[in-house]
Amino acid sequence: MREFHPLTIERIEAETKDSVRIALGVPTEFASDYGFLAGQHLPFQITVDGRKLRRTYSICSAQGELPLEIGVRVQPGGQFSEFAANDLAVGDTIEAMSPSGQFHVELDAANVKDYVGFAAGSGITPILSMIKSILTQEPNSRFILFYGNRKQSTTMFIEDLYALKNLYPERLQLNFVFSQEEQEFETMVGRLNGDKVRELYTHFGAGLRASDCFVCGPDSMIQDVTEALIDLGMDEAHVHSERFGVPRKDAKPKAAEQGVADHTTDRATVTVIMDGHKKEFDMHRDDANIVDAAADNGIELPYSCKGGVCATCRCHVREGEVTMATNYGLEPWEVEKGFVLACQSRPLSDTIVLDYDKI
Ligand code: FES
């Protein structure tokens, strides 16, 4: 079962005026649980005033690299980010679940690819992991980055990016877009939205003919950039996105499972398969979601955001049908193959079997 383990703070330092980078050591006994793919994230848990608080942060280290590094933008009033910036110290431990997430690259040393990344603000963190991993593990691939920020001084990991550019001048192209700072080229001033992507495409032309595009930032940026890339001819299956923060009320979710009701009672039996073990509980069909219903029955299922974004609760419907309220975390192919977000799902059939072991 994916569970929380204490990771040790090996290093914590200011990244910009309002962000920190934290290096996390993994105890040897859990090391095998913390392998990750470039782009994946870690769910964290802290307790504030007796209340458990969970947040997800992307790993920005290269795939296979230890310690695991994350970048945290401090949000005013943000309980988790303020705790991370102000209360954590070297030697402390913090609870983290093993890495997860479908926003990742499949590295292959034989690949000859042009990857393009669009990152806004702290959306750079998973993309930085991809850049480092691709440059070191795919010697014939290139990465073209478009990175939007207010100004240079608020740009997270800018020094790391310049250091990578020095090491791989032919294979890494950096394009910084600032909304509150003059630049030599007008094209590089503004916000990273759909119009800007079209403008950049016109300016860079062939540079945007990517094998895969990775987009990470707030939901409005994801929506605008993704739509623009598809308009510009990019195959939707090759545009991958990961949003952070809570989506706007009017944000367009990805497809959500809508099964056909096939029930005879107002209760359903849920069987959960995890690490080869089965657990079973009953829930009312109107209960908010499967994760909360399981908790009411003393069964803890994996979750972090409970907002349909992080996909920590992803599982496969092996039998039966569920309805998923919203989905910002699963790709269309995952929904088609029967994967759901348990934090957004309720049973439609009398019995359902959820498999957490299927990848
Ligand atoms: S817990 Fe984040 S999507 Fe379900």
Is the backbone peptide bond immediately before 169 cis, with ω within 30 degrees of 0? Answer: no
Q: What spacing in Å lies between the alpha carbon of 119 and ligand 1's midpoint?
A: 22
pLDDT value for 205: 67
pLDDT value for 207: 54
Q: Is 333 exposed, middle or buried (0-12, 13-18, 19+ CB in 10 A)?
A: exposed
Q: What angle do CA 95, 327, 219 make, to 5 degrees?
A: 80
Using the atom order of ligand 1, give the atom closest to the CA of residue 311: 3
From 246, 254, 292, 305, give the residue whose CB has the most ligand 1 atoms within 8 Å, as the site to mutate.
305
Helix extents (H) in the chain: 79-86, 124-137, 158-167, 194-204, 219-231, 290-296, 332-336
Using the atom order of ligand 1, give the atom closest to the CA of residue 305: 2
Using the atom order of ligand 1, give the atom closest to the CA of residue 302: 1
One-letter amino acid at 353 equals V
CA distances from 334 to 163, 240, 255, 289 (A): 36, 13, 10, 19
CA distances from 314 to 1, 163, 278, 332 (A): 13, 36, 17, 13
Looking at 50-54, 159-163, 193-197, 248-252, which range is the least confident one?
A: 248-252
In whole numbers, what is the pLDDT of the chain averaged over residues? Answer: 91
- What is the average per-residue pLDDT within 255-261? 61
Interval 70-105: pLDDT, tens:
999 998 889 999 999 999 999 999 999 999 988 999
Q: What spacing in Å lies between the alpha carbon of 168 and ligand 1's midpoint?
A: 37
Other beta carbons within 10 angstroms of residue 218's beta carbon come to: 18
Q: What spacing in Å lies between the alpha carbon of 246 and ligand 1's midpoint?
A: 11
From 40, 309, 328, give the residue whose CB has the most ligand 1 atoms within 8 Å, as the site to mutate.
309
Pairwise CA distance, residues 359 & 71, whole Å:
27
Say which DSSP state 281 is in: E
Tokens representing residue 318 in the block: 């092996």
Strand-pair category, 267-274 with 351-355 = parallel
Other beta carbons within 10 angstroms of residue 104's beta carbon come to: 22
3-state secondary structure of 102: coil
Q: Which residues contact 246 (CB under 8 A, 6 or more apart)?
A: 305, 307, 309
> Confidence class of residue 224 from pLDDT cuts 50, 70 and 90?
very high
Q: Which residues contact 349 (CB under 8 A, 6 or more apart)?
A: 259, 262, 263, 268, 320, 321
Nearest CA to ligand 1 atom 3: 308
Strand-pair category, 19-25 with 267-274 = unpaired
Do residues 229 and 254 lie in contact, with contact meaning Cβ atoms separated by under 8 Å? no
pLDDT value for 21: 97
Using the atom order of ligand 1, give the atom closest to the CA of residue 310: 2
From 292, 310, 346, give the residue whose CB has the most ligand 1 atoms within 8 Å, as the site to mutate.
310
Pairwise CA distance, residues 61 & 67, whole Å:
8
Using the atom order of ligand 1, give the atom closest to the CA of residue 303: 1
Tokens representing residue 141 in the block: 């691939």
End-to-end CA distance of the chain: 14
Q: Is 132 exposed, middle or buried (0-12, 13-18, 19+ CB in 10 A)?
A: buried
pTM: 0.87
From 289, 303, 330, 345, give the residue whose CB has the most ligand 1 atoms within 8 Å, as the site to mutate.
303
What string of DSSP letters covers 222-245?
HHHHHHHHHHTT--GGGEEEEE-S
- What is the average per-residue pLDDT within 117-135? 97
Q: What spacing in Å lies between the alpha carbon of 185 and ligand 1's midpoint?
A: 40
pLDDT value for 247: 62
> Confidence class of residue 66 from pLDDT cuts 50, 70 and 90?
very high
Tokens representing residue 248 in the block: 């706007």
As for ligand 1, residues whose beta carbon falls within 6 Å of it are 303-313, 329, 341, 343
Pairwise CA distance, residues 357 & 206, whole Å:
41
Q: What spacing in Å lies between the alpha carbon of 92 and ligand 1's midpoint?
A: 27
Q: What spacing in Å lies between the alpha carbon of 263 and ligand 1's midpoint?
A: 26
Q: Which domains does the chain have, with CATH numbers?
A: 5-96 (2.40.30.10), 114-243 (3.40.50.80), 267-355 (3.10.20.30)
Q: What spacing in Å lies between the alpha carbon of 113 and ligand 1's midpoint?
A: 31
Other beta carbons within 10 angstroms of residue 48's beta carbon come to: 12
16: β partners? 19
Using the atom order of ligand 1, give the atom closest to the CA of residue 56: 2
3-state secondary structure of 178: strand
Using the atom order of ligand 1, give the atom closest to the CA of residue 329: 3
Interval 346-356: pLDDT, tens:
999 999 999 99
Using the atom order of ligand 1, give the atom closest to the CA of residue 313: 4
Q: What spacing in Å lies between the alpha carbon of 245 and ligand 1's midpoint?
A: 12
From 313, 330, 345, give the residue whose CB has the most ligand 1 atoms within 8 Å, as the site to mutate.
313
